[in-house]
Amino acid sequence: MNADQKMRQSTSASVYGARAGTGTGVGSGTGDGDPAGRVRRFWSERRVPAGIVALVIAAVSGLLLYDVAAVRSGRRAMGWRDWLADELASRPLDNAWIVGGAALLAALGVWMVILAMAPGLRGLLPMRAPEPESGSGSGAEAEAAVRAGIDRTSAGLVLRDRAMEVPGVRSARVDVGRRRIRARALAHFRDLDEVRADLDAALHEGIRQLGLARPPALSVHVRRSAKSKG
């Protein structure tokens, strides 16, 4: 039964359009009138994370400033600052807790720098800029005027609907990533190779109609459903 199931499965991996670092380059035309040029990803405004970090830093700074002012006015320092000062004064630099805390803070700082430099909005795929009309300015001006994107979940639903239109497909699931689209389908009639070929063509056409600036690679997997085998 396992051998028969493997014989009935058909897998296809194909690449649509240009990929980053290969071919004509990212954001280049695909030969059907698409405008050339680099299309940038959308950047997250990060208002909520920036606000939270600012509030935390303000609270810690305010507490420390209050304690320093209290000590200067003749009052005793807070217990946590006395404990921290004693620990830092008594522990050597090669202590495991000191080294571990320093490594943790360094890793946290590097992680925050990477997050600050990353665009964010990983769930939003940028789409191609519209073709500039004659006499309307350059393509860069058109891109600056109009920028469009599509959510990865929405793109997966659109491609799944296209997959369900293929004859012989009983159910389908399409997972859209930033660099690869994985489609899995169950077939209940027709030859698996024929279903796979038609599904490949339908999804390629669906990806083209989405108008993505960086069309991901497409991987299609088709197998026979259990009810059809019985």
When mean pLDDT is compared across 39-48, 109-118, 120-129, 207-216, the lowest value belongs to 39-48
Q: Could you tell me which residues are beta bridge partners of residue 180?
A: 217
36 vs 119, which has greater pLDDT? 119
Residue 2 · residue 211 · CB < 8 Å: no
Within 13 Å, how many C-alpha atoms sit on residue 150's CB side? 22
H-helix segments, 91-223 = 96-117, 139-145, 152-164, 192-210
In this prediction, residue 139 carries a pLDDT of 52
51 vs 15, which has greater pLDDT? 51
Instruction: Name the band, by pLDDT with cuts 50, 70 and 90, for residue 156.
Output: very high
In this prediction, residue 47 carries a pLDDT of 80
